[in-house]
Amino acid sequence: MGETPSQIAEEIERTRAELGSNFQELGQKVKSATDWRRQFQNSPFFLMGLAFGAGLLLAKLVAANGGRR
């Protein structure tokens, strides 16, 4: 509790700068994780398999409805 107002202000500024840096890093990680082109470059067979499975599921759903709109 022996901190001076200037020490408190400096600590607040350090914390603010650290939070800003953390938010920037988090934003980059989210951008990277949601970039489908990068994901495809990293694991193309997984994503092709996922697309194939989604196509099969869609075909099964359409066939179950008799192709009706």
- Note whether 28 and 44 are same-domain residues: no
Range of the domain at 19: 1-34
- Alpha-carbon distance of 9 to 6, in angstroms, equals 5
- Note whether 6 and 16 are same-domain residues: yes
- Note whether 28 and 49 are same-domain residues: no
Tens of pLDDT, residue by residue, the chain (69 residues)? 578 989 999 999 999 999 999 999 999 999 988 898 888 888 899 989 999 999 999 999 999 887 666
- Alpha-carbon distance of 38 to 43, in angstroms, equals 9
- Note whether 18 and 40 are same-domain residues: no
- Note whether 30 and 2 are same-domain residues: yes
Q: What is the DSSP string of 1-69?
A: ----HHHHHHHHHHHHHHHHHHHHHHHHHHHHHT-HHHHHHH-HHHHHHHHHHHHHHHHHHHHHTTT--
Number of domains the chain is built from: 2
- Note whether 22 and 42 are same-domain residues: no
